[in-house]
Amino acid sequence: MCGPYETLRKKTPLGTQVETIVNQIASLVNLTNPTEEVIRAVLVLHHAQVFTAPSVITTDLDLTFLISKYDVAVTRSVNTYTIL
């Protein structure tokens, strides 16, 4: 069932939970040599704050120019980029 809380509460037998249980799912991304399209998608999702946990991308590509197009914080260690 879905609908306004008051309506659900009135139609639901006593003792049945109507309140939502809040679960948070953190998307953890750990990619090795992904395509540029996948890297772009991860950057866009971080930029839009859909991904809130750090993502790690290991690639031989130089992502400096690509990363500069998005408002994201990135650390780099050799060929591993961590998007914060």
Q: Is 15 helix (H, G, I), strand (E, B) or coil?
A: coil
Angle 58-63-66 from CA coordinates, rounded to 5°: 135
Instruction: Quickly count: other Cβ atoms within 10 Å of residue 63's Cβ.
Output: 18
pLDDT above 70: residue 48: yes
Q: Is 68 inside a domain boundary?
A: yes
Q: Is 54 inside a domain boundary?
A: yes
Q: Is 74 inside a domain boundary?
A: yes
What is the per-residue pLDDT across 49-67, written as a single tens digit (0 to 9) for each? 888 899 999 999 999 999 9
Q: Are strands 55-58 and 30-32 parallel, antiparallel or unpaired?
A: parallel
* Count of structural domains within the chain: 1
Q: Tell me what percent of the residues of the chain surpass a pLDDT of 90.
A: 57
